[in-house]
Amino acid sequence: MPERLKDARGLAALFEEIIVLLELKVVGQPQWHVFPEPGGVTGLTLLAESHLTIHTFPEHGFAALNVYCCRPRLCPDFEDLVVRHLGAVSCRVRELRRRVET
C-alpha cells in the first residue's frame, strides 16, 4: 500500500473512476504535487460541483480523500474503490450532508 500512496498516476485513476461514477464535471486540469521521499502526493480536481482532493502519507500508510459536492449523489462504494486503487486494508467513510438554509 505505501508505494501506491506515492503514485500520482494511480491516484489519478482513482479520481477518474470517482468522476465517472458520480457524473461530475471537471473544470480545468487536475493538479498533482509529489513530495520528496518519504512524502506522498496531494491532488486536486476542481469540479463544477465543488472539488475532489487527496492527501497521502505513505510513511503512515494513510490517505485522506475528500469528495465535496454541492448536488446530492448516490454514495459509491468508497471502500471498494480504495481497496482496489490503493490496496487499503481498512477504510472509514464519513458522509456529511450539506444543509442550506433558505
Cite the active site residues: 50, 55, 70
Measured distance CA(1)–CA(5) in Å, rounded? 7
* Torsion angle in degrees (nearest 10) through CA of 22, 102, 98, 21: 0
- Sorted by sequence, the CB contacts under 8 Å of residue 72 that are 6+ apart come out as none
Residue 40 contacts residue 58 (beta carbons within 8 Å): yes
